[in-house]
Amino acid sequence: ITPTVSDITATVTVNGTSVPSGTTSDQIGLNAGSNTITVVVTAEDGTTKTYTVTVTRGIKDANLSGLALSSGTLSPAFSAGTTSYTANVANSVSSITITPTASDSNAMIKVNGTTVESGTTSGAITLNVGSNTITMSVTADDGVTTKTYTVTVTRAPSNDAYLSGLTLSSGTLSPAFASGTTSYTANVANAVSSLKITPTVSDITATVTVNGTSVPSGTTSDQIGLNAGSNTITVVVTAEDGTTKTYTVTVTRGIKDADLSGLALSSGTLSPAFSAGTTSYTANVANSVNSITITPTTSDSNAMIKVNGTTVESGTTSGAIPLNTGSNNTITVSVRADDGVTTKTYTVTVTRAEANAGNGNEGGNSNGNNGGSSGTGNSGGNSSGNTDMNEKPSPVLSSLTLSTGDLTPSFSPGTTTYKTKVGNSVSSMTFTLTLSDSNAKIRINDMPVTNASPSSVIPLNVGENKFTFTVTGQNGTISTYTVIVTREAASSAANGSDSSEASESHGPVLNHEMINVGRVKEALETALQLPAPEHFPDVSQSNWSSSGIEVARQIGIIQGRTDGKFHGNDLITRAEFIMMVAKSLKLDMTQVRDTTFDDTQDHWAEKAIAALEGVGVIHGSGEHKFRPNQPITRAEIAAVLARLLVWDEPSAATRFTDTTDSWARSVIDQMAEAGIIRGTGNDRFSPDASATREQATVMILRMLTVCRNVEVPLTDLAQ
């Protein structure tokens, strides 16, 4: 050290050793670390001043005193002398930070080449799946000494074996796809002999196979052949770490099995004994048997059965069927296969014995439980007869009232046939029936009715409307009442129109008592002003239904499947059709109403079904069942749409050769005359065939088009 004094008379010492001013001291030894050098200046008068110089000699300490990770645990535990570590983190940890602390605060640290202050956290370090090495270089304060620490972080592979999407080329998944749901079903028509499936994985590192064949995520599999009946498609997702998850789709292809496997009667014995290939049977019952039930069982559980036109579940008992005396009791059991086309009809002719004749003896006085008459003349004669005091009386009504009009004659429990007339302005009515036996059941034209409560609103056609009320007691006895309501034709100058205008008025109108017609018109007019939506990729512009499908999409009646296609040739279920009708009529579906069906709760179409039941349009298929997932027939569609309409003219003559025996013949004829429905060729309507999505769509549009009180030009569907 070289000290120089301010006054040449002063003297100076360095660490107690005298040093001439301006000259260099002897060498002063330095220890590693801090060293203090003392310089004392003494003035001529003895005054002193002390200067100190603290010299820090760089040290060779390149150790860390601490090392911490934001995720995972160091192995082994940190020690300054240990330079190599490992740590494991989950796949969900995609980055990590590290906090190194130097033993000597003057040392410099770099983490993966980036300087980090001792005791502070590094920036985020990205982790790949597998091994990731993090390097910490420590340079001691001497600038020479270095030490390197490494941490090898292993990020676990992904265990995500979920799908994020799953679609079919035909049919609809049930339930709707959800990543956590692994089991699905779908139904397709018998005509669909194969389909494709498109699985999409949640994690791009996962792989997927369909029935054992690898399929890239988000792409369509090869065609998968379908047998008639049940087909299980297995989709296996393998995660990066080997974890697997299996999804199954059970696709039921409609089969052509319309056979019964069993047929039983509540009374009597089938002759010949039942055999699936035998379709005609007879049975005999005593006169005391005034009704019978029948229990049909299908070979295929998905086939549909109707007994005398009323749907019956396979293996369950039909309603009571009244029997006349004699052999004029033919019970028809119609079976429709799951393919919606194949049908088979079984018949059972039941002969009910005649009642026994009275018993009497010639001569003498009368003798009998009911008294007799004395014989006169040569033959004389006594009559003796017995009345069965155990015979159960038929159930009867105690009252029958109409919402409009009076019965002729006035109601009496013993009178079973009535008439009434109403004006043309009365387009619908309700009936209120009260039973003398509250345990009996009532049906109006096969529609269940609640005792002592108004029925659903029933539309009236112009002319004669026949209503049959069937009352069935607990013991199976049946009473039948008939009411014929005649609705007058419209006057020639109705509603202030001149006679020529009135005479030209024809065709149905939407029933304003069921439907808010103004809301329907306004919604349609608004929708038609919107830009036309894109075409469905699977609907050719040359297709007979393409214009109708486009309009239906624009006005919000239909939408495509999850794959963006329409699938017009797929069969339409009862629930899908009811949802389309509810949308077309702009019904309120914001709340769930009470319903008589016990199979629609929590169904995706529950609100639409309840809304249409509430206005009296749908009645279900018996036994409080609606069967929402069952395909709907063409006849059922005609019946539902007809109930929404009020007609000015009676039904036309039969138009189709295959509807003569159909339960819906009259409405089919009426709908055909109005131009709402068309046949399937060769003067046939195919009433019991299942309808397709495109057929149902066009029928609804035609209904809106021909209704005189809608008058919104939807599209030209006359072709």
Instruction: Give the whole-number percent of the chain exceeding pLDDT 90.
Output: 42
Residue 248 has pLDDT above 50, yes or no: yes
Q: Which residues contact 500 (CB under 8 A, 6 or more apart)?
A: none
User: In the block, which residue shows the tokens 């990770």?
Assistant: 69
Identify whether the C-beta of residue 351 lies closer than 8 Å to the C-beta of residue 326. yes
DSSP-derived letter for residue 495 is: G
Phi, psi of 179 (to 5 degrees): -55, -35
For residue 436, which of 476, 393, 398, 480 has the smallest C-alpha distance? 398
Cβ-in-10-Å burial (0-12, 13-18, 19+) of 409 comes to: exposed
Strand partners, 165: 200
Structure tokens at 511: 């029933």
Element (H, E) at 468: strand 463-472
Q: What is the pLDDT of residues 76-134, one digit of tens each?
A: 999 999 999 999 999 989 999 999 999 998 899 999 999 999 999 999 999 998 999 99
Per residue, the 3-state secondary structure of 398-456, as one string, reads EEEEECCCCCECCCCCCCCEEEEEECCCCCEECEEEEECCCCCEEEECCEEECCCCECC
Residue 70 has pLDDT above 80, yes or no: yes
Q: What is the pLDDT of residues 187-239, one digit of tens each?
A: 888 778 899 999 999 999 999 999 999 999 999 999 999 988 889 999 999 99
The helix/strand/coil state of 617 is coil
Domains of the chain, start order: 11-57 (no CATH), 64-155 (2.60.40), 163-253 (2.60.40), 260-352 (2.60.40), 397-487 (2.60.40), 509-706 (no CATH)
Strand partners, 233: 249
Element (H, E) at 670: helix 665-674
Identify whether the C-beta of residue 159 lies closer than 8 Å to the C-beta of residue 239. yes
Q: What is the pLDDT of residues 396-419, one digit of tens each?
A: 788 888 888 888 888 887 788 999
**DSSP string of 27-94, one letter each residue:** P----SEEEEEEEEEE-TTS-EEEEEEEEEEP-----EEEEEESSS--BS---TT--EEEEEE-TT--
Q: What is the pLDDT of residues 151-166, one digit of tens each?
A: 999 999 999 999 999 9
CA distance 412 to 603: 44
- Among 23-37, 194-208, 255-269, 661-675, which stretch is predicted with the lowest mean pLDDT? 661-675
Residue 591 has pLDDT above 70, yes or no: no
> CA 482, 407, 651, 643 torsion: positive or negative?
negative
Identify whether the C-beta of residue 687 lies closer than 8 Å to the C-beta of residue 661. no
CA distance 59 to 33: 6
Structure tokens at 248: 């199954």
Mean pLDDT across the chain, nearest whole number?
A: 83
**Omega prior to 454 cis, within 30 of 0:** no
Phi, psi of 465 (to 5 degrees): -125, 120
Identify whether the C-beta of residue 184 lies closer than 8 Å to the C-beta of residue 249. yes
CA distance 485 to 491: 18
Total residues belonging to the chain: 719
The helix/strand/coil state of 251 is strand
Strand partners, 200: 165
CA distance 195 to 169: 6
Highest mean pLDDT among 426-435, 648-657, 685-694: 685-694
Position 360 confidence tier, pLDDT thresholds 50, 70, 90: very low
CA distance 495 to 189: 49
Position 498 confidence tier, pLDDT thresholds 50, 70, 90: very low
For residue 34, which of 105, 137, 130, 124 has the smallest C-alpha distance? 105
Residue 490 has pLDDT above 80, yes or no: no
DSSP-derived letter for residue 626 is: -
> CA 625, 629, 630, 634 torsion: positive or negative?
positive
